[in-house]
Amino acid sequence: MRFTFLAIVVGLAVGAFAQSSTADAYVASEASIAKAGVLANIGPSGSKSQGAKAIASPSTTNPNYLFTWTRDTSLVFKALIDQFTSGEDTTLRGLIDSFTSSQAILQQVSNPSGTVSTGGLGEPKFNIDESAFTDAWGRPQRDGPALRSTAIISYANWLLDNGNTTYVTQTLWPIIKLDLDYVEANWNQTGFDLWEEVNSSSFFTTAVQHRALREGAAFATRIGQTSEVSGYTTQAANVLCFLQSYWNPSGGFITANTGGGRSGRDANTVLTSIHTFDPAAGCDAATFQPCSDKALSNLKVYVDAFRSIYTINSGVAANAAVATGRYPEDSYQGGNPWYLTTIAVAEQLYDALIVWDQLGSINVTTTSLPFFQQFSSGITTGTFASTSETYTTLTTAVKNFADGFIAVNAQFTPSNGGLAEQYSRSNGQPVSAVDLTWSYAATLTAFHARTGKTYPGWGAAGLTVPAVCSTSGSGSSGGGGGAGTVAVTFNVQATTFFGENIYITGSVDALQNWSPDNALLLSSANYPIWSITVNLPASTDVQYKFIRKAPGELIWESDPNNQITTPASGSFTQSDTFR
């Protein structure tokens, strides 16, 4: 037994060393390539940008990505702004100023989503000459204004620190305020997710909206715009409350979208943890910080969803890194792994390691236990101080695990270092759009996290989820829930065949008003029990039914309607059997 255990330990150590060595080499060679890749796609001097302020990719056919997306551009520039304001690259200021001026122009461009005052800020992408893109598309997408305001606030705070108050208040604040006001008024409205496919509420969108409102309230206070603070703060609390409803306790993961007919396991959730990372917030679960028990549990479920579906993951150990994609049901361009989703897993793990080091301990809960059991089968719940052998074992294993995801990308990066959008699930060859700006930016931010670098937080520390939530956006006409909402978990026992799923719809807005097309997908993680948690109006009679859906099939549950009366506050669980 002792020899066998020692052999296993030695084998794991050798494998981990190889992964870390590969990661070291990849960082050394790819960092400068990734930085050049980002800059090449930003105009007017970018070698591949064709004059645009920031393009998604120079690819013009299958797919055509020669557009500027608000979301992608804002995420990329947030990374560049962090480099500039931290002093890592002081040459970027001209590009950043060009970014803010171009965004001010785009905010005012009338487009199919509306004008600047009638919803146009939710338009996802524009032509590279800053004109409206008018073809059919998944619109609106409500993450863009939140991400843009977050990026510009980061720059504006640095400018204030360096005495440039006039430019901030006269030029940047009007841009920021338009976006924050849009978020405040529309956060409770559905829209297309960051993959531009599902029209529902989306975890990523909700979380970045929450961050934007918190940062916006603090920033408005700093520059004396106190009349805006109350509205931002009030809606931030409501958004935080709604954010909790995405958690699937029975499955141990975050359901990415409230609609869409998929399992809910999605890179959306991992990207959320890294793009709402606040080093001062510890392992806070309410904001799903990278080292929180919910985010770690979710990470394992997400990664495991790809272990058996890609040929290139064949033969990989059950606790080793693998290539990951957007979601396991994906079919876009063949449904392949993405460079940015695979390396996002590494970044979340590096962020977790940073915070554990700050805290001086790791707390293993019943929720995060399966995650940690990957690295220590005998681990139990409890708090393990940094002076303990268990802490060293776990952090070493997590670091090696994270390096493994970088090693996976390294294996499938071509010799010139170019990063496309995806690589083939069967042979690892780059596919889809070439030189994806987001692929390069995601690589840079993961590399920075690997070295332990952090950037200023956004106020996630010490937040309390309200006991009673409101789903009414300020100035918005939709989605209201009366005086407040309560989290209701629906569990229904239903045996299904492969490809068939269970949905719910009912008599209130949160249950899609009896719409079979927009009915909410339940999770099958605890099959044959299907589950979903929804924020419903408090103290309200609610009727509902479950639906079976499969290609070519839509079967309603038999009469009569199910009915519950929601409590005045707190949460509630309803268990049924499909009729």
Catalytic one of 24, 89, 130, 196 = 196
pLDDT value at residue 15: 55
CB atoms within 10 A of CB 15: 14
Dihedral angle computed from the Cα positions of residues 371, 374, 379 and 384, in that order, rounded to the nearest 10 degrees? -60
Q: Report domain extents, the chain.
A: 1-47+277-457, 66-129+140-267+460-473, 485-577
Residues contacting 321, CB < 8 A, separation 6+: 19, 303, 345, 346, 401, 402, 403, 404, 405, 407, 408
Cα separation, 326 vs 302, in Å, equals 10
Cα separation, 574 vs 432, in Å, equals 44
The residue type at 131: S
Catalytic one of 179, 181, 184, 193 = 193
pLDDT value at residue 12: 42
Read off the tokens for 556: 């309603």
Cα separation, 185 vs 340, in Å, equals 31
Helix (H, G, I), strand (E, B) or coil at 118: coil
CATH of 66-129+140-267+460-473, one of 1.10.630.10, 3.50.30.10, 1.50.10.10, 1.10.10.10: 1.50.10.10
- The answer to whether residues 480 and 509 touch, using CB atoms and an 8 Å cutoff, is yes
pLDDT value at residue 571: 76
Helix (H, G, I), strand (E, B) or coil at 202: strand
Bridge partners for 575 per DSSP: 491
- Tell me the CATH architecture of domain 485-577: Sandwich (2.60)
Read off the tokens for 134: 């008018």
Cα separation, 180 vs 168, in Å, equals 15
Instruction: Report the candidate in 140, 423, 459, 118 with the shortest Cα–Cα distance to residue 280.
Output: 459
Cα separation, 259 vs 243, in Å, equals 15
Q: pTM here? A: 0.81
pLDDT value at residue 44: 72
End-to-end CA distance of the chain: 53
The residue type at 265: R
Read off the tokens for 92: 């970027």
Cα separation, 370 vs 186, in Å, equals 37
97 is catalytic: no
pLDDT value at residue 4: 36
Cα separation, 547 vs 520, in Å, equals 9
* CATH T-level fold of 1-47+277-457: Glycosyltransferase (1.50.10)
- The answer to whether residues 521 and 260 touch, using CB atoms and an 8 Å cutoff, is yes
196 is catalytic: yes
- Does this chain's domain 1-47+277-457 share its CATH topology with 66-129+140-267+460-473? yes
- The answer to whether residues 406 and 26 touch, using CB atoms and an 8 Å cutoff, is yes
The reply, when asked if residue 338 is annotated as ligand binding, is: no
Residues of the chain with pLDDT under 70: 1-18, 46, 49, 51-52, 470-483
pLDDT value at residue 473: 53
Cα separation, 486 vs 241, in Å, equals 9
